[in-house]
Amino acid sequence: MTSFAEKSQQSIQAAGLLLTSNLYPSSINRSYYSFFQFMMHVLFNKIKMDQHSFHTHIHCSGKKNAYTCLEYCRNCICQKQAPGIFNL
């Protein structure tokens, strides 16, 4: 199974290839998913949130994955609960 960090790297590489081919909307799409996949990596591997808890939180909140993931990571960073989380 490919990790979120690996998926993030693959997506950003694809974004670069698409950019050099002047496929701008597709490059933006891959860039967005690269960021989202990296934030999922941070959430599960650095902040150590349980994936089951995350999916339960999403289901109960009625929010989408990307919004919930980014909101949770932001809150952890702002509260300084996760020093060094951006180190792979």
pLDDT of residue 77: 66
Chunk the chain into consecutive blocks of 10 residues (it has 88) and report each block's average pLDDT, rounded to whole numbers. Answer: 89 97 96 89 84 78 73 70 56
**pLDDT on residue 83:** 58
pLDDT for 44 equals 85
Is 0.75 surpassed by the pTM of this model? no
Position 29 scores a pLDDT of 94
Q: What is the DSSP string of the chain?
A: ---HHHHHHHHHHHHHHHHHTT-HHHHHHHHHHHHHHHHHHIIIIIS---HHHHHHHHHHHT--HHHHHHHHHHHHHHTT-STTTT--
Amino acid type, 82: A
